[in-house]
Structure formats: structure tokens, C-alpha cells
A = this chain, B = another copy of it.
Amino acid sequence: MKGGAVMEPREAYPITYSILGLLAIWGPLSGYDIKRLFDHMLSSMWGAAQSQIYKELRRMREIGWVEMEREEQESRPDRKLYSITAEGLSALRKWQTQPPEVFQLRDEMLLKMLFGSFARSADLAQSLRASIAEHETRLLVYRQNTQAIAGAFPRGDKRYNPYSDENAEDPYFGLVTHFAVEFEKTYLRWLYEALELVESREKPAPSDMGES
């Protein structure tokens, strides 16, 4: 026997803390609610499949970080409402103390450009334009959100509304949104720059039919 220390699995991951945070703010939530919050609030920073959320909630309940209460309904599956426990809150706080792990960008567009010398310029330009369109849209959405957002959740259902008045005062939301906007601006500037470079190489010989 060498070490003998059997590594026990980590008990938490970013998605765990995301869910804890959402529960801490918006109180008892169902898996379905959490999925919606992910899609509306965290989509640009952390995705989560519906199936994963349900799985994770079950696991979190087993380790006592959340508790569940069943809300009975007719003609629909019962809502299972999850709340954060004291242990869960303390885990969230502890995580926030720890130094962050090494960050990796993991953006395919960067990889594509890194090996740009192998691609046809027209192909790269196409990818770049698609990327530009997407990020312009994002930027627009962020800006709309940070401004007039009363109508985002038309029913006035505060439970699902990350922009309701009670949260408007939270300076941390604004801070993170501000980063998202600054990031998109930086990224877009670069995309346009990249497109310029690519286009300048696209037609070095405008009407020249014969090549070496």
C-alpha cells in the first residue's frame, strides 16, 4: 500500500453554489423556478441543464444544504419547494472566502482565430460576423435589463423577477452586470478588429485569375 488515502469526492461545484445563491435570495424555489432563473440571469456566465438541476437539488438535500417542502397541486405534479438551510448558507459563505480557481476563457472563437492561417479568409469572416451578431445582441439585452425592466416579468410575479425593486438596491447585481457589459464591449472591439484583419487578407488580388 502506497498512500492509502482514498480521495473522497468534492461536495460542491459552481452549480451547487449558484443554486444556493439563488435560493438564498429568492427564497423557496422549485427546480423549475431555478431553471428559469438560470436561463434569465446566469445564462451568460453559467449554464445548467434542467436534469442537472434536479439531480443537484437531490444531492444537496442529502448533505443537508437545502430542505424541501411539497406544495400540492391538482392536475400538475406537486411543486417541490426548496429552501437553503443554515448549513447551506454557511457553505456559501465559506466558498466566498476561498481564493478563486484558475480561470480559463474556453472560447472557441479564440481557438479558431489562433489557427486562422489555415482557414480561408472568407470562412473566418463568416464566423466572425456570426459572433459579432450574437454579442451585439447580448450587449443590447444587458443594457435593456439595466435600464427599464419593469415589464420583463409582466405578471408582476416577484418570485421570478430578478429585477424587482427589492433587489434593485443590491449593489452586487449591478456590479456583475457592469462587468458583463464591459466584457462584451471589449470582446466586440476585438471581433471588429479581427474582422478587419481577415478582410484585409481576403482579397489581396482583386481580379487576378491566374495563380502560381
Contact = CB atoms under 8 A, between A and B. Distances in A.
Interface of A: 14, 17-18, 20-21, 24-25, 43-47, 89, 92-93, 95-120, 123-124, 126-127, 130-131, 134, 170-173, 175-176, 178-180, 182-183, 186-187, 189-190, 193-194, 197
A131 B126 CA distance: 35
18 contacts: A14-B106, A17-B112, A21-B111, A45-B106, A45-B107, A46-B105, A92-B118, A95-B112, A96-B112, A96-B116, A100-B112, A102-B134, A103-B134, A113-B172, A116-B172, A171-B197, A182-B186, A182-B189
B103 A109 contact: yes
A59 to B, nearest CB: 18
Q: Which of A119, A179, A183 has the most CB of B within 10 A?
A: A179
A130 to B, nearest CB: 4
A182 B171 contact: no
A96 B124 contact: yes
